Amino acid sequence: MRLWFVKIGEPWPTDGTATRLNRTGIMAQQYARAGDDVVWISDVFDHNKKAQRFDQAVCLTPEPRLTVMGLYGPGYPRNVSLRRFGHHSTIAAAFRSKAADLEKPDVIVASCIPLELALECVRYGRAHRVPVVVDIRDMWPDAWISVMHPALRPAAGIAILPYRNMLREIVLEATALCGITQDALDWGLRHAGREQGPQDKVLPLAYAPPPMPAQAVQDAERFWTPLGVDGKADRLTACFIGTFTKRVEFDTIIEAARRLEPELRRKILFVFCGSGELDQELRERTKDLGCFLFPGWLDAVQLAVLMRRAQIGLLPYPSDPDFMRSLPNKVFDYLAGALPILTCLKGNVEKLIAAHNCGWMYGNGDPDGFNEVLRHLVAEPSAVTAAGERAHAASLEFDATQLYGDFRSHLLTLCDIEAPDKSRIMAHG
């Protein structure tokens, strides 16, 4: 099978020996090693670090049968910015130009975001009779409305009409849809105006353990110990792994820590791993509390060692519709690291925690509720340990080899479907 993955914003296999690959990177490696010819079309801009990998478009071959094609765009300093839209438009135009020179694939798997790039993929599929699977992970543009002030939403609804039209064409022209949850898939099907068909699948995010060279593990151990992350039972260590943006409810955790009695605060350590637009602000707001640590952006081995030494994984996301329909990447990182989850995010995350009894809930914007849970966890370390064991057991349901192997079999069946095959799609509408 000759396969294109079209997804920007993820780490590349060439980013370093301790790189933690995400969904597309894992599948690209897995399928290439299974004998497929895989071309992963991405961009050279590192979304997490907000830096360019290269100053021009590149084409790399990190291993046999796997090609990573990096398109060049101007990049952007913040996740929410007009420059990000400009970057997406540039990448979409670059794809349109480059795709004409590439050998035609048997099937394309395209992320639903950015919409501009997904639209180019389905138009290529229509023109060249190639089946296109649209992978729904984020609910753009609907998600944009949920984060706006209610007074601005009517005007914003009009402003995003061009993007709604893009989405409509994308999901209508796709040969098949897949979603990281049933809710995500249903969202795409609603925009397509049809029922789920046999070609549409739920494909959860899955976890693949990173390589753990002995020397890298030793280096990571030496990194954490001087910072006070030693895994000792006399201090509850709770970690957050992600990007510091305004869409994360950091305020609740900081206010909760400020309200804690000093003797209890000394028994807790919050480790915020990552970077982002709020980095400096968060450091300033917590520097007098003595229970926050900001180690910066870390590699996969450093994170794995952290999760061995921590006891809790924090997921302080707002219960906005797009987040509630989703299961974020860090959920699977925490579960695989045997970390029970402490979160205020309702929806699919809450359901997963309830189903496996592998975490605790507090209310959105409720620092006192957060502290109530913390007091329980500090007082009952055995409950934390037991929840961690259940978290690890739950992670076995999200094994990348099995889940993504099944999806590869599904893609092989779609190779026989010329796109767009409206008779197959609309028969279910």
CATH architecture entry for 214-398: 3-Layer(aba) Sandwich (3.40)
Of 37-51, 58-72, 146-160, 182-196, least confident by mean pLDDT is 146-160
Q: What is the mean pLDDT of residues 101-124?
A: 96
Fold agreement (2-206+399-426, 214-398): yes
Express as a percent the part of the chain with pLDDT over 90: 79
Domain ranges of the chain: 2-206+399-426, 214-398
User: Which CATH code for domain 2-206+399-426?
Assistant: 3.40.50.2000
pLDDT of residue 313: 98
Q: Which of 116, 69, 67, 70 is nearest to 90 (CA)?
A: 116
Confidence category of residue 209, pLDDT binned at 50, 70, 90: confident
* Top-ranked range on mean pLDDT: pick from 139-143, 254-258, 301-305: 254-258
Residue 162 neighbours by CB under 8 Å, 6+ apart: none
Confidence category of residue 420, pLDDT binned at 50, 70, 90: very low
| Omega within 30 of 0 (cis) for the link into 295 | no
- Look up residue 410 and give its two tokens: 């599904």
Beta bridge partners of 40: 5, 68
Using the 8-state DSSP alphabet, how is residue 369 labeled? H
Q: CB count, 10 Å around CB of 217?
A: 16
Of 117-121, 292-296, 424-428, least confident by mean pLDDT is 424-428
Query: Residue 69 above 50 pLDDT?
Result: yes
Q: What is the mean pLDDT of residues 350-357?
A: 97
Rounded alpha-carbon distances, angstroms, from residue 84 to 56, 74, 77, 111, 165: 18, 9, 8, 16, 19
pLDDT of residue 24: 96
pLDDT of residue 422: 39
Sheet holding 292-296, edge to edge: 292-296, 268-275, 236-243, 312-315, 341-343, 359-361
Q: What is the dihedral of CA 326, 328, 329, 330, to 10 degrees?
A: -150
Of 206 and 233, the one with more pLDDT: 206
Q: What is the mean pLDDT of residues 76-92?
A: 91
Tell me the backbone φ, ψ of residue 258, rounded to 5 degrees. Answer: -65, -30
H helix runs in 298-366, sequence order: 300-309, 321-325, 329-336, 348-356
- Look up residue 209 and give its two tokens: 């353990």
Residue 309 neighbours by CB under 8 Å, 6+ apart: 224, 229, 230, 231, 237
Residue-wise pLDDT tens digits, 359-391: 999 999 999 999 999 999 999 999 999 999 999
| Omega within 30 of 0 (cis) for the link into 420 | yes
Q: What is the mean pLDDT of residues 190-206?
A: 94
pLDDT of residue 417: 57
H helix runs in 202-317, sequence order: 214-224, 250-259, 262-265, 279-286, 300-309
| Omega within 30 of 0 (cis) for the link into 114 | yes
Rounded Cα gap, residues 125 and 98, in angstroms: 14
Of 374 and 148, the one with more pLDDT: 374
Provide the pairing of β-strand 51-52 with 45-46.
antiparallel
Confidence category of residue 147, pLDDT binned at 50, 70, 90: low
Residue 240 neighbours by CB under 8 Å, 6+ apart: 248, 270, 271, 272, 273, 274, 313, 314, 315, 316
Asked whether the beta carbons of 205 and 271 are under 8 A apart, the reply is no
For the chain, the average pLDDT equals: 91
Rounded Cα gap, residues 122 and 128, in angstroms: 10
Query: Residue 27 above 80 pLDDT?
Result: yes
Q: What is the dihedral of CA 399, 203, 328, 123, to 10 degrees?
A: 140
Rounded Cα gap, residues 380 and 79, in angstroms: 39
pLDDT of residue 419: 42
Q: Which of 38, 7, 123, 12 is nearest to 411 (CA)?
A: 38
- Report the run of H or E that residue 408 belongs to, with start and end: helix 400-414
pLDDT of residue 421: 45
Q: Which of 243, 387, 202, 220 is nearest to 329 (CA)?
A: 243
Q: What is the dihedral of CA 25, 179, 77, 152, to 10 degrees?
A: 180
Confidence category of residue 427, pLDDT binned at 50, 70, 90: very low
Of 81 and 177, the one with more pLDDT: 177
